[in-house]
Structure 1
Amino acid sequence: MTESISLERLTGIVAFARAASHGSFTAAARSLSVSPSAVSKTIQRLEQQLGLRLFTRTTRSLVLTPEGRELHERALHLLRAAEDVVQSAAAVRAEPSGTIKVAAPLPIGTRLLAPALPEFRRRYPKVQVDLRLGDRFVNLVEEGIDVAIRIGDLPDSNLLSRGLTSAKVSAFASPTYLAARGTPQRPEDLQHHDCVNFRYQASGQLMRWVFKAGSRTVEFTPDAAIVVDVSDAVVEVIAAGGGIGMSASFIAAPYVERGLLVPVLTEFAAHMPTITAVWPESRRASPSVKAFIGFLEELFPSPAPWDAVIANAALRPKHIPPTTGTKK
C-alpha cells in the first residue's frame, strides 16, 4: 500500500520546487509570501525526511545536487497536476471570479495595462488582478502565472498564445534638440548626433538600433551619450533635449501628442515583433482567463492607435534644418 503524503512533506516539496526554480530562498519566499527562514527550515526538514541533500549551499549561490535535480523535475510535475485540479474546479463556475496573476513587461504594464485595469474590474468585479511587472522572463507554470504579455518571437513551448497587435520602434528627438543640431535624413547621419540608448536589465546588453532601407536592414549599436535601463527614462531624456533615442510607439505617442517629441527617420522605421498574450494549457477553461484575454484584444487593437499618432506627426511639415557637419 502506498504511504499517503503528509501536509508537512507536501509543503516542503512546494518550497523546494520554488527555491530550485528561482535559485534562491529569498526569491522563493517572495513568491510564496513567507519569510526566507521559513523556506529554508521547510526544505531542511524535507531533506531530513528524505535522507537526501537537495542543494549545495554557498554564500553566493544555491545549486541543485544530482538528487535535487531529479526531484525538481518530479516536483514540477506534481505542482502542474495540482494546478490542473484547481483550474478544473474553477472552470465549473461560469462567472469569472478569484485572483488572476498577470505578468507583463514594465512599459506595457505601466503605459497600457495598468490604466485599463479599473475598467476590467468594473466588468468583472469578482476578479482580483495581481499584476507582476519587469523585464525578467517568467516561467508561467513554475510561478503560477495565469496570463503573460510578451514582445517578440516566442520559443517553442506548450503555452497557448494569441497575437494582440504590433508596434513600431522609431527614432525620436525633442524639437529644441533638432532645432539646435539639425534633423538626420538617413540612419548614417546619427553618427553626428548625441544618441540615447537602452540597456536590457535582464541581460545587460545594449539595444541594437534597426532601420529598414528598402529591402536592406541597417543594424548597429550607437555610440551613446546617455544609456538608461528603463524604457520610460529614454523618452524622458530625449524629451528634455538629451539627443535622439529609439522608442516603441506606444511609449512615445503621448509625448508626440503634447509636442514634446518629434519622430525622425520614420521612413526607415522597423516593425516591432507582435505583442502576444500567452497562458498555460491548464488555464484553457478558466472563465477569468477567458475574460482577461478578451479584454486584452480590446486593449490592443490592430491597427494600433499609437502607431497612427506617430504616422500623423511624421506628415506634419517641419522647418528644422537637416544634419550637417560633425557631431558636437
Structure 2
Amino acid sequence: MANPSQEMGVFERVIERGSFAGAAQDVGLSPSAVSKLITRLEQRLGVRLITRTTRRLALTAEGEIYLRRAREILDAINAAESEIASARTSPRGHLRVLAPPVLAIDHLGPALPDFFARHPRITLDFLVTNRAVDLIGENVDIALRTGDLDDSSLVARKIVDLRRVICASPKYLARNGRPIQPSDLSHHACLTLSRLPQSAIWSFRVNDTLMPVTVRGPLSADSADMLVKLAIEGAGIVRLGEIAVANAIQNGLLEPLLQDSHESEDFPLWAVMPPGRQRTLKVRVFLDFLIELFGSASWRLIPETGRPEQPPPNARSGRNRRSP
C-alpha cells in the first residue's frame, strides 16, 4: 500500500502529465494501478480531487488545495534529502528557472552550454516571461527579478547591481541630432515603460545638483524588449537597464548618450527562491554560475571611478527586503 508521500507524488504527476497513462510512465506503474491509487486516496479523504471526463482531467477545489499542500510537502522532503546528500554527491536534478526574455535570451542562453559542461547531471526548464508568477504554485526553483522586492517569505540573493543607460540608434541621431545637455531631451522622442510611471522621469547631475527631467514621446510599452527594438529602428531615445541594451550597444546598434551628466540610479538583479530551495546543491551551483556570469560580463559599464566593477561578494540568503 502506498504511503502518503508516495500518494502525493503520484497525484502530482497525474496533474503535471494530464493523464493517468502519462503519470504511470513516470512512476513505473500501470495506468489502472495509478487510477486505483487516486481512487483510494479520494476515498480515504472523503472528497473527490479530480473530475474525470473522456477528454481530460480537471482539479476540483479540494484537489487544488491538496495539490498545493502536496507540493510543499514533497519540496520539503526533497530539500531535506538533497541537503543531506549534497555533501557527498555531485550536483544533479531538475531546475525550473523563471527569467524575463531579455535575461533568458540575450544573456543566459548563450552561457548555458558552459554551465551544462560543468554540471552535466542538472537539467533546466525555463519559464521566459515578464508576467507575475506564483513561484510556489508553479514549482519554480529560481526567479530572476530586478529592482525593489515586495516583502514576503521568499528567499532573495543579490546577483549584481545594474545601471541604467540612455541610448539611441545611429539612425535616430542622424535624423534628429544628438542631445548635448539634459534640457535637449524636450525636443526628442523618448520611449518609456508604461508599467513603471517613474520611467518618464530621467535623472541627471548638473553642477553637483540632482536634476530630474520629465521626458515625452509618441510611444510607451510594458516590455523593455519592445522598446529596445523600437530604439534600434530609430523610433526614439530609451533609458533602460544596461542588461537590456548591452548587446545592442556592443553591436553598434545603439549609442550611449549624456554619460557625463546622467545619474544612472543603480538597481539590483535578484535571484528569488521559495524557502528551502537555496540549500540544495543544484540551486547553489546555479546561483554561483549567475554571480560569475553577470558579475564579470564584458558588457558591464565602467563606473565613474574608472575602475571595472567587481563581482559582489557571496550574498547571504534571507527573507526579502526592499532594497535601499
Distance 1:114 1:251 in 2: 14
Distance 2:179 2:230 in 1: 18
- For the 8 Å contact 2:200–2:216, the answer to whether it is kept is no
Q: What residue in structure 1 maps to residue 247 of structure 2?
A: 254
What displacement does 1:251 show?
A: 2.6
Determine whether 1:98 maps to 2:93: yes
Q: Which amino acid aligns with 1:121?
A: F
Secondary structure of 2:148's counterpart equals coil
Identity of paired residues, percent?
Answer: 30
Q: What residue in structure 1 maps to residue 140 of structure 2?
A: 145
Q: Which amino acid aligns with 1:195?
A: C
Determine whether 1:130 maps to 2:114: no
Q: 1:213 aligns with which of 204, 209, 225?
A: 204
**Bigger mean CA offset, 91-100 vs 101-110:** 91-100
Label 1:47 to 1:194 Cα distance change in 2 as closer, same or farther (>3 A).
Answer: farther
For residues 215-241 of structure 1, give each alpha carbon's deviation from its aligned partner in whole angstroms, at most 9, with x where no partner exists.
536264x44323344323322221222
Q: What residue in structure 2 maps to residue 274 of structure 1?
A: 268
**Bigger mean CA offset, 237-246 vs 89-98:** 89-98
Q: 2:285 aligns with which of 291, 311, 314?
A: 291
For residues 128-154 of structure 1, give each alpha carbon's deviation from its aligned partner in whole angstroms, at most 9, with x where no partner exists.
122221112333333222222211122
Q: Which amino acid aligns with 1:181?
A: N
- For the 8 Å contact 1:164–1:274, the answer to whether it is kept is yes
Gaps of 5+ in 2: 23-34, 51-57, 307-324
- For the 8 Å contact 2:192–2:221, the answer to whether it is kept is yes
Q: 2:150 aligns with which of 151, 155, 179?
A: 155
Secondary structure of 1:177's counterpart equals helix
What displacement does 1:194 show?
A: 1.9
**Bigger mean CA offset, 91-100 vs 79-88:** 79-88
Label 1:70 to 1:126 Cα distance change in 2 as closer, same or farther (>3 A).
Answer: closer
- For the 8 Å contact 2:168–2:232, the answer to whether it is kept is yes
Label 1:7 to 1:255 Cα distance change in 2 as closer, same or farther (>3 A).
Answer: closer
Secondary structure of 2:158's counterpart equals strand
What displacement does 1:102 show?
A: 1.5
Q: Which amino acid aligns with 2:202?
A: F
Q: What residue in structure 2 maps to residue 264 of structure 1?
A: 257
Distance 2:255 2:304 in 1: 9
Distance 1:213 1:91 in 2: 49
What displacement does 1:15 show?
A: 8.7
Distance 1:97 1:168 in 2: 34
Label 1:74 to 1:219 Cα distance change in 2 as closer, same or farther (>3 A).
Answer: farther
Label 1:207 to 1:118 Cα distance change in 2 as closer, same or farther (>3 A).
Answer: farther
Gaps of 5+ in 1: 17-28, 56-61, 313-328
TM-score by length of 1: 0.67
TM-score by length of 2: 0.68
What displacement does 1:52 show?
A: 6.2
For residues 261-281 of structure 1, give each alpha carbon's deviation from its aligned partner in whole angstroms, at most 9, with x where no partner exists.
222233224324111223334
Bigger fraction of residues in helix:
1
- For the 8 Å contact 2:183–2:213, the answer to whether it is kept is no
Q: What residue in structure 2 maps to residue 194 of structure 1?
A: 189
Label 1:211 to 1:108 Cα distance change in 2 as closer, same or farther (>3 A).
Answer: same
Distance 1:310 1:112 in 2: 24
Determine whether 1:244 maps to 2:220: no
For residues 183-238 of structure 1, give each alpha carbon's deviation from its aligned partner in whole angstroms, at most 9, with x where no partner exists.
334444333222223344xxxx6672343333536264x44323344323322221
Matched residue count: 282
Q: Which amino acid aligns with 2:138?
A: E
